Chains A and B, each alone.
Chain A
């Protein structure tokens, strides 16, 4: 039976059991929206297309499933570009569907025409401008297949308006067999597992360095079994938080620029660094030349291009982490490593994560500790980017994977709040808390409308210091306290703002109010804002200065 392009889009969503899509209509995507109206597909109308794609990312990060967003041509499409770049760097499976001006008008500077195909090349894993409706089903299927296979990433399918209304008998959702075969081969395990096992069993001071790939690969149980059965300490990247329980005795917490002193010391002194689904980002390694300089490096990653990209690897294994770990697990042996663990304990005791309390003001670290206590480390936290993000990484003890949804690679302010909306649609039974700063919350604050309209029970915590805190911190430390354009001398009344949207809000200013504030958001049965006033001078410690080695950390009392 012949179908229109727009009908194929609906069939495609059904074919993959897509539960919810996030989007915003417009002229060039009208035929698709007409079919959405008829189909009963659950579509969440956001307030800005950037909100749609970050919500789709939040959905995808919380579930591991593909997130879908829809936008119109021109500005609708360009508004999702930041989200595509974000999803590319953090390997988030996204299918973005955009309307395009009719094929006859492409290239004529038509109304709401933008070359989103060209624009999105560097920020997508796959993109396609479908000029012929006969190619649409294949293009959508390729987008889904490539977005969700191997190292996931964003895919974009751009559909001209006339292609949406044209009829076709090509309605099979099939991937080009050449592409399917080649992609499958890209994900095969390739490497010498026996040699790696031998290296692990012989290592005196091994360390697991666990990244977001452990979560993507659903390998958290294998990581835990490896750590326990071989008795190896574990440090996690920002993206890896949740892949291993932070309260586990083998956990050293996060490494890198704002990691723990003991994790960074462990990296700098280990004799075997085992990177699992991590990519040696500059925020992790600091000065590359001195990174893990005493160690042999093992690297397991599904993306071959990550191996040997920045650091020369001694034991390279390409392949899906879960598969690789399963074949390692039965081979590794338990080693006491007494000296190594007593050294680690010494660093932990001498340099714990710490902050100083001050006469009753709310320290953000204290707030997160209390939130951790109240939720048992079991809530889904999303963050924006900046100081609040680092405190949320340091002071909340994520017990499970897919619980800390943050913009790691791109560092996108404006990510966290819409991502929380997406996560709540994905996990309606879990507590979802968007941790934000007063700067970043205002980047996509329009999504309060979405929260109010759909009754989304997302809890927004604003750690409010009236500044772009992380930039302020750098200005104080490295730019002689010249606070150029980081001070918000005006901020809205966030409580009244919540109320204007029919939501509840509460502002707390004293440490003694923290528990009441947390109780207020956790008990609320609707979207809510908690405005937490924190001191502007508070900084994120410890810290590796830009360009320094990661063992050269500045701590709070230095």
Chain B
């Protein structure tokens, strides 16, 4: 089962090394990680998505180990489906002139945006849940040529209504 972990940490040069190193040392695989500062730049928020591979104890142990890190100010974890998750992807796509209509349809269906365009390339951005981002990427890659691509990893906040 997938979990979202939200960490608030003291923002300094070594904090990511501490967090990521803990996961590596104890053999926990990270699906996705994203980081940014809060309104107070002394605090960073790290969103980590992990899969417990069916072992419920894993997430409890990760939680307890993370709490021991000095820089961790707060930690919350919740099942993946109890949070609103978003990921941003930028995709540089190559297309043939006769494919323009088709590619624009796909972009519209997914609610993605075109940020830049030449006669044979499109720079596309999408902000969505990871599954949708992956679906767009797969659809585009099947039909056209993906020249370059970069993804942010997911960020998340829990729903407030049950």
Contacts and interface: CB of A to CB of B under 8 A. Distances in A.
B109 to A, nearest CB: 46
A458 interface: no
Given A121-B21, A122-B25, A305 B68 contact: yes
A507 to B, nearest CB: 45
Given A305-B61, A305-B64, A305-B65, A121 B70 contact: no
Contact of A117 (B14, B25, B64, B67): B14
Contacts of B162: none
Contact of B70 (A118, A179, A305, A309): A179
Q: Is chain B's interface secondary structure helix, strand, loop, or mixed overall?
A: helix
A121 B68 contact: no
A304 B64 contact: yes
B102 interface: no
B19 to A, nearest CB: 10
Interface in A117-155: 117-118, 121-122, 125-127, 129, 142, 146
Contacts of A1: none
Interface string B63-85: 01101101011000000000000
B25 to A, nearest CB: 6
Contacts of B25: 122
B151 interface: no
A146 B70 contact: yes
A308 interface: yes
A178 interface: yes
A174 to B, nearest CB: 15
A89 interface: no
Contacts of A122: 21, 25
Interface string A185-215: 0100000000000000000000000000000
A85 to B, nearest CB: 12
A303 interface: yes
A308 B21 contact: no
Given A118-B17, A121-B14, A122-B25, A304 B67 contact: yes
A523 interface: no
B14 A182 contact: no
Interface in A90-139: 117-118, 121-122, 125-127, 129
A193 to B, nearest CB: 20
A136 to B, nearest CB: 14
A121 B73 CA distance: 18
Contacts of A308: 57, 60-61
Interface residues of B, number: 17
Contacts of B68: 125, 186, 303, 305
B18 interface: yes
Interface in A261-302: none
Interface in B2-16: 10, 13-14
Interface in A8-55: none
B61 A309 contact: yes
A121 B17 contact: yes
Contact of B73 (A118, A182, A303): A182
Contact of A186 (B57, B60, B61, B67): B67
A117 B21 CA distance: 13
A129 B57 contact: no
Contacts of A178: 10, 73
Contacts of B70: 125-126, 142, 146, 179
Of the listed residues B17, B64, B72, the one surrounded by the most CB atoms of chain A closer than 10 A to its CB is B64
B60 to A, nearest CB: 7
Contacts of B18: 121
Nearest to A304: B64
A122 B18 CA distance: 8
B15 to A, nearest CB: 10
B60 A129 contact: no
A304 B63 CA distance: 10
Contacts of B17: 118, 121
Nearest to A307: B64
Nearest to B60: A308
Nearest to A146: B70
A111 to B, nearest CB: 22
A118 B20 CA distance: 12
A315 B10 CA distance: 34
A551 B49 CA distance: 42
Contacts of B72: 182
A333 B64 CA distance: 34
A102 to B, nearest CB: 17
A548 to B, nearest CB: 25
Interface of B: 10, 13-14, 17-18, 21, 25, 57, 60-61, 64-65, 67-68, 70, 72-73
23 contacts: A118-B17, A121-B14, A121-B17, A122-B21, A122-B25, A125-B68, A125-B70, A126-B70, A129-B13, A142-B70, A146-B70, A178-B10, A179-B70, A182-B72, A186-B67, A186-B68, A304-B67, A305-B61, A305-B64, A305-B65, A308-B57, A308-B60, A308-B61
Interface of A: 117-118, 121-122, 125-127, 129, 142, 146, 176, 178-179, 182, 186, 303-305, 308-309
- Nearest 8 A/B pairs, CB to CB: A305-B64, A126-B70, A304-B64, A121-B21, A305-B65, A122-B25, A121-B18, A121-B17
